[in-house]
Amino acid sequence: MRGSAAPSQGSLGCFSLLLAIGKRSSLLTEQQISKSWRILFSGHTFDAEIDAKAEALLDELRPESPLRHRLRAELDELRKLKLQKTR
């Protein structure tokens, strides 16, 4: 349906991945984490809920993953910026 405000099938799948975090025993792929991360931070303000979801995504990555280290640095930077704005 053209002009519909309904989310695309692809974005629904990524949000399903976000909802499934913590309910899975296997790790998500780095590609799935990366896509979910982009969706999580697109068009949203950084609040406690987004922070918790981002932390849960990081927990899905292997400790030695370069992606985990890069995303951890991004999340730490966002936390610093939020602290600076609240002062």
Mean pLDDT for the stretch of residues 26-34:
85
* Domain presence at residue 4: no
* Domain presence at residue 22: yes
Q: Name the average pLDDT for the chain.
A: 79
Q: CA 59, CA 22: separation in Å to the nearest integer? A: 9
Contact (Cβ atoms closer than 8 angstroms) between residue 28 and residue 67: no
24, burial (CB in 10 Å: exposed 0-12, middle 13-18, buried 19+): exposed
User: Is a pLDDT exceeding 60 seen at residue 56?
Assistant: yes
* Domain presence at residue 70: yes
Mean pLDDT for the stretch of residues 30-47:
90
Residue among 42, 55, 40, 45 nearest 82 (CA)? 45
Domain encompassing residue 58: 9-86
* Domain presence at residue 75: yes
Residue among 11, 18, 81 nearest 55 (CA)? 18
Q: How many domains does the chain have?
A: 1
Mean pLDDT for the stretch of residues 48-74:
95
- Output the pTM of the full model: 0.69
